[in-house]
Chain A
């Protein structure tokens, strides 16, 4: 049986507080109204979960020699994540920790999408995106690789589909700061996050460049 949770569009209702407010007090509550409201809520949960996570102007003339295209995960465990910034051999960026929640009530996480303008400069360029719980990227971590042999810049996009087992809990309990000693948290809870890492390399010493790098959450 097909189950429908949302019409996939926002259905306008009269404004809250207006005389025609469908949720005004002392009125009958019809299942049809609850159906529309439920559809809107599910739709908003889905759309609101999608957002930009990170942007980076790009790396210029990355010219190390790294043949990381041999085995699927070599781009993660052979990538020199410890490279000193400023080295032209590779590009490395910590792309932050980001809240990851399901796409509405589907139980499926939005796709982490990396999009960049990329040029290889004469050989093969690679960009790897890794998601993990923090710390050094491991071969077991979810990752996606995008590559290019293009001489001019071209748009390249990769998506990373995580499961609920790939995200990590973060406790949030901010104390009230304007009292001494600090007051109890106003509200506290736990959300789920992932850390993101980005690496850029070239297969044979040619000059790879990226521009307009963004990471965003797209619909699964």
Chain B
């Protein structure tokens, strides 16, 4: 395995200098490899945010099958009603549904994550914001036994004393290297004009495919406290979801997104973390500019489960609006997380 560092640059390649039936110049393949690397690894787009909280259990979701190998986790804290030297703690557990790493100290998670985070006490709340960023490494979690081919759940448990956690953000980080261990990544190396395609060029095709296929953008991620802050559904037919997804009585909140427009109709995967009371079932659906798509929710037996197998599409337009509806066959359907992610 060899790696080569790369900075985040996007070279400009002009079509006029590459006319059909022309001769490829030595520098052109190097520039092409560089921009292909940037397209593949420079713009990962999965993320989730836990909004301001005074504590709770929150779940965020990412697919590990993209080009990103790091996830930046940023925690921001400040005091609650008056400056006080006190602290928040945040634990993280990551699971693929079978194997779980964390929430306690683990060699596979950032060791700085568990330390309490204390805001300043200057007196101006905003100036007292305290921020900490740690990086979770995908390959460490794979080494710990998590499957890289199913979505991962990142569970943050927040405990505060006289403070707020203003936000927890998790986001994919750009690649800063090409690595021969990857299925993509092209070395911007020397090419002899009029020569045949050699090892330095052969990877460009796969790298371009990674720029298309190994990309997922999070279109919508709402993480609620599953203990005390989740949404409740009691309607027996599809209806707007009271709580985070309700604009006004009987009207669902509509969320504007920017679809990735690679040529076809943008496809998404969607679902929720939910629980049903007793053996009752339910359903959620999303409505976009392209249509309405449903996901049946089997009885969860009273505990929370994740179900993200919904398939839908976005409008082939520069913006689209999404809204959610749900129903419960009987009893209460509780929803703690909503997730809509691109299927490339």
Show the binding face of A for B, using Cβ within 8 Å.
1, 3-7, 9-10, 13, 15-17, 21-32, 34-35, 37-45, 47-58, 81-85, 93-99, 101-102, 104-105, 113, 115, 117, 134-136, 153, 155, 157, 172, 174, 176-179, 182, 186-192, 211-212, 214, 216-219
A191 to chain B, nearest CB (A): 6
A37 and B255: CB pair below 8 A? Answer: no
Give residues in B with beta carbon < 8 Å to A: 3, 5-8, 10-16, 18-24, 28-29, 31-32, 35-36, 38-40, 42-43, 45, 47, 49, 51-52, 69-70, 72, 74, 76, 80-81, 107-111, 124-127, 129, 131, 134-135, 137, 139-140, 143, 164, 166-167, 169, 171, 173-177, 179, 191, 195-199, 201-206, 208-209, 211-212, 215, 217-222, 243-248, 251, 253-258, 260-263, 318-319, 323
What are 29 pairs between A and B in contact, CB < 8 Å? A3-B14, A13-B208, A23-B206, A25-B199, A29-B24, A29-B195, A30-B24, A31-B28, A32-B18, A37-B36, A40-B39, A41-B39, A45-B38, A51-B260, A57-B253, A82-B125, A95-B167, A105-B10, A115-B256, A177-B137, A186-B69, A187-B5, A189-B8, A190-B7, A190-B8, A211-B246, A216-B258, A218-B258, A218-B319
Closest CB in chain A relative to B63 CB, distance in Å: 14
Using known A-B contacts A45-B38, A48-B260, determine if residue A34 contacts B24 with beta carbons closer than 8 Å: yes
* A61 smallest CB distance to B (angstroms): 12
Q: Kindly list 8 other residue pairs between chains A and B, CB separation below 8 angstroms, not including A52-B218, A84-B81, A101-B43.
A: A4-B16, A48-B260, A84-B80, A135-B129, A136-B126, A176-B140, A187-B5, A214-B257
CA–CA, A117 to B240, complex, Å?
16
Q: State how many angstroms separate the Cβ of B174 from the closest Cβ of chain A.
A: 6
Q: A54-B49, A174-B135 are in contact. Are A13 and B81 (CB under 8 A)?
A: no
* B19: A residues at CB distance < 8 A: 31-32, 35
CB distance A13 to B247 under 8 Å?
A: no
Contact A10/B212 with A34-B24, A134-B131 known, Cβ cut-off 8 Å:
yes
B253 partner residues in chain A, CB cutoff 8 A:
57-58, 117, 211-212
CA distance A102 to B135 in the complex (A): 24
Min Cβ gap A205→B in Å is 21
Residues of B contacting A84 with CB < 8 Å?
Answer: 80-81, 125
Note all chain B residues with C-beta closer than 8 A to A42.
Answer: 10, 12-13, 35, 39
Residues of B close to A47: CB separation below 8 A: 260-262
